Structure 1
Amino acid sequence: MPDLPLRWRTATVAGAQWAATFTLLDDDGTPMDISGKTFEFVIRPNAADATMPPLVEVTATATAQGYLTVDTLTATIQVVLTPAATTLLGTGCRPFALWMDPGQAAQTCLVEGPFYSRLVSAA
């Protein structure tokens, strides 16, 4: 993989479902071997916040906040946040991160950046 973490920005409407897919490639452009790896996507109130649990946290185990789908053959990670998760964001910008092997000695932040959200006026 190129220098990590990769910087990426994204946005959503608070209360809407949000999804993104990340493809993990080795330096030679081939899919990274991610078999046996665990992943976590988190959104925190600010970059200095280390409170557990984070404001939003999703893993391969589906919860009310969403889930990750890991495809080891194509080395893709799909992140899905439910409307319940994005509702927590309201209007603003918060930092997010996609982690590989979180909480372990070799944990790696793969992607990080600002996660923008906004409210939409009711009809």
Structure 2
Amino acid sequence: MERIITLAVRSLTEDALGTALGELRAAVGRINDLPIKSAIEFVEAPPGVLERGLTPREAQVLDCVVEGLSGKAMARRLGMSEGTVKCHLNNLYRKTGSANRTQLAMWATRNRPARQPEALSA
């Protein structure tokens, strides 16, 4: 693993390396600001989620959107209020440039790695 990281760092330009380090510092800062449960979810986020700026909870809401769940069903499944679901949906609309749940689901199928069925129901 260390060899791969070394090779990756060598292939970066100075500007790209500076940008990558800045993003890493920002991610570490976000982890430090999170409660323990959220920090664990952040670290265990599915591949590709953090690179696109989605939080682990936004990724979970996005999974529910892809499944076609209602706001109430999402809230029940994820253990949050419907208002919190709406907040996450609004963040997802903004981050993905989507105007509605259909566009959001289409964005997810185009831009996220293929998900295993059991990962969607967890």
TM-score (normalised: structure 1): 0.22
Q: Counting helix residues as a fraction of each chain, which structure ranks higher?
A: 2
Q: Counting strand residues as a fraction of each chain, which structure ranks higher?
A: 1
Higher RCO (C-alpha 8 Å, min separation 6): 1
TM-score (normalised: structure 2): 0.22
